[in-house]
Structure 1
Amino acid sequence: MNFILASASPRRQMLLRQIGIEATIIKPDGFVEKTQIDGSIKALVRFNALGKATFVQQQVSAADVLIAADTIVAFEGKILGKPQNRIKAQEMLECLAGKMHHVITCLVVMYKGQTEVACVTTEVYFRSLTASEIEDYLAAGESMDKAGAYGIQGQGAILVEKINGCYNNVVGLPLTCLYKMLNKLEVK
């Protein structure tokens, strides 16, 4: 069985390996993600995940198992993408401090002409943070390539008070949901 991951995320590749899946990486570089869309945030994350999958699908066999995902951090109805600079990262962390936000991932699995799509939402509660704690986290260098300016799987774990939902979703790939999708498509 040949698995294809339509993603540049090393975290997604690591999570697949965690459950015994070695995937070939094909970056969907030709697909331009939207940062906003008419409708809900879930509609946006779904659009981007399907777009990545459809773009990469043209390059692989129908017998391959194609996995694509898109993850968005949403706070008070606004999308927090990857910060453009350190100041934006600091602003994001200051907004999230002491509050709850959502991490939404849409998964797409394509196999033998069938497509499964699912969205998973996790509530993440940050603890209150001092300016010094935010500065220390920024100095660690984890903020710049992550939506919401933090990575729960790294030093960002100390920013989080608790979560409601799937931890792996916050990392970028909800594994239990993926497993159920693969079973539904009879991927062995």
Structure 2
Amino acid sequence: VLALEKAKAVAQQNPQAVVIGGDQLVSFENRILGKPGSEELAIEQLLSMQGRTHLLITAIAVIGPDFLETHINQTTLKMRDLSRSAIERYVRFDQPLNCAGAYKLESQGITLFEEIQSTDHSAITGIPLIALTSLLIKAGISVP
């Protein structure tokens, strides 16, 4: 889990701290869709997913001096049927080139979807806050 590797890298530099790492990926038709990096690839990714369902997998890791635990959240998303011009407009506007799946749900990307199912709605923006709160409490952090 990349979230764990990210947290470990920071924890090595700060051994007394409680460190949170996170990462997201998109699973579509048994493939992992990475960050597109270009408008052309973003448009192609979105065109391939339109009208279909995929998974957004959000992982977090919490590491403390005597604590290490991870959590994985799976969100199921169904994209609307969209025209190529609508997808091109979205990509030009939101520039989701560094986002898994080529969309930013916290911005205009939410308009691309007709259905989102998750046990933790905050996971779609990168950090499942319900799970994070539970992990922080387990790590001995007072919340709230």
Q: Aligning the two structures, in what range does the TM-score lie when normalised by the shorter sequence?
A: over 0.9
| Other-structure match for 2:39 | 86
Deviations 1:112-144 (A, max 9, x none): 221011111110111111111111102204221
Pairs within 5 Å for 1:43-58: 46=1, 48-58=2-12
The answer on 1:65 being equivalent to 2:18 is: yes
Name the structure, 1 or 2, with higher relative contact order (CA <8 Å, separation 6+): 2
| Other-structure match for 2:28 | 75
Q: 1:102 aligns with which of 41, 49, 55?
A: 55
The answer to whether the 8 Å contact 2:94/2:104 transfers is: no
DSSP 3-state at the match of 1:55: helix
| Other-structure match for 1:133 | 86
Structure 2 letter corresponding to 1:172 = G
Separation of aligned partners in 2, 1:90 and 1:83: 9
| Other-structure match for 2:132 | 178
| Other-structure match for 1:145 | 98
**TM-score, reference length from structure 2:** 0.92
- Indicate the RMSD between aligned Cα atoms, in angstroms: 1.1
Q: Which runs of 5+ in 1 are unaligned?
A: 1-45
| 1:160 CA displacement | 1.0
The answer to whether the 8 Å contact 2:11/2:18 transfers is: no
What is the count of residue pairs matched by the alignment? 141
| 1:88 CA displacement | 0.6
Separation of aligned partners in 2, 1:75 and 1:111: 34
Deviations 1:39-86 (A, max 9, x none): xxxxxxx2x111111111111132x11000111111111111110211
Q: 2:74 aligns with which of 102, 116, 121?
A: 121
| 1:174 CA displacement | 0.5
DSSP 3-state at the match of 2:13: coil
Q: Which runs of 4+ in 1 moved over 3 A?
A: none
| 1:158 CA displacement | 0.6
Q: Which runs of 5+ in 2 are unaligned?
A: none
Structure 1 letter corresponding to 2:12 = Q
Separation of aligned partners in 2, 1:131 and 1:123: 23
